[in-house]
Amino acid sequence: MKKKSKKYPVSIRNWAEEDRPREKLLKYGEQVLSNAELLAILIRTGTPGRSAVDIGRELLHKFKSLRSMSGVDASEFKKILGLKDAKIAQIKAAIELGRRMISEEKALSGSVKSSSDVGDFLMPLMRDLKKECFKLLLLNKQNAVTDVIDIDQGTVDKANPYIRDILQFAIQYHAPAMIIAHNHPSGSVEPSEQDKILTRDLVIASSAMEVRVFDHIIIGDDQYFSFADAGLIEEFEMLSISRL
């Protein structure tokens, strides 16, 4: 009895035109494509026996969602057969553009009035990062954000922004006030003892330079912690006054 042979997948270029992701997008719009098909457009070509859509499906199976791909190291993508540097760069760039687009919708325009203004702006930028990252937001006299500066990026659970470097930026850009922020890759927003020490020391040092620290925001998984809302910034300012 003749053994039944397994059929090989058909290459995308041999698919009916209306089934090819790129042609489908141009004809019907990007909204009709599945996530795997959209990824296939970025991936462009498959490997022997596997189409770009197959690779897109494997990406989604491995990382579970598009959002979870954000901040993943390139080495993790390389574990998938058919993904080399150029394709990985295209995928990561597209995801980053999407993340920034969401942040633009929450863009800080005008005066910053509360921690929620900053939290909503930073959440899509920082919540999915796999390493701790510190950002410095410089404000003018009207409390409008003039600059957003990346201060430091650390390991999975620790970054070490130097107070001297933070103050140097504030003085260089003639900022009368600032807000610092960092993410917790664990998703928890509970401030560590080191977070409290850093904030206290920064408030005290900044006070001597006549620069105000309005807040320290910790970004977690769809939630944030505000040192100002918790009364800690005011507490550290009083401590600074008592030391004069």
Residue 203: other Cβ atoms inside 10 A: 24
Which residues have CB under 8 Å from 231's CB, separation 6+? none
Tell me the CA distances in angstroms from 39 to 12, 14, 86, one per residue in order: 14, 19, 14
- Secondary structure tally for the chain: helices H, strands E: 10, 5
**Is the pLDDT score of 220 beyond 90?**
yes
For residue 181, list its beta bridge partners.
135, 217
Which residues have CB under 8 Å from 115's CB, separation 6+? 215, 217, 224, 226, 228, 229
CB 52 within 8 Å of CB 46: yes
Tell me the CA distances in angstroms from 73 to 63, 151, 164, 176, one per residue in order: 12, 20, 30, 37
For residue 182, list its beta bridge partners.
134, 218
Distance, CA of 92 to CA of 74 (rounded, Å): 8
**In this predicted structure, what is the pLDDT of residue 4?**
65
Q: Which residue has the tokens 């039944």?
A: 4
For domain 108-242, give the fold. Answer: Cytidine Deaminase; domain 2 (3.40.140)
**In this predicted structure, what is the pLDDT of residue 5?**
64
Residue 95: other Cβ atoms inside 10 A: 19
State how beta strands 133-139 and 177-183 pair: antiparallel
Which residues have CB under 8 Å from 75's CB, separation 6+? none
**In this predicted structure, what is the pLDDT of residue 166?**
93
Supply the pTM of this predicted model.
0.66
For the chain, residues classed under CATH 3.40.140.10 are: 108-242
Residue of 46 and 70 predicted with greater confidence: 46
Task: List pLDDT tens digits, range 100-132.
Answer: 777 665 556 678 889 999 998 899 889 888 889
Q: Which of 62, 21, 13, 59 is nearest to 38 (CA)?
A: 21
Distance, CA of 134 to CA of 218 (rounded, Å): 9
**In this predicted structure, what is the pLDDT of residue 228?**
96
The share of the chain scoring above pLDDT 90, in percent, equals 39
Task: List pLDDT tens digits, range 171-217.
Answer: 999 999 999 999 999 999 999 999 999 999 999 999 989 999 999 99
Judged on CB neighbours under 10 Å (0-12, 13-18, 19+), 139 is buried
Residue type, 37: E
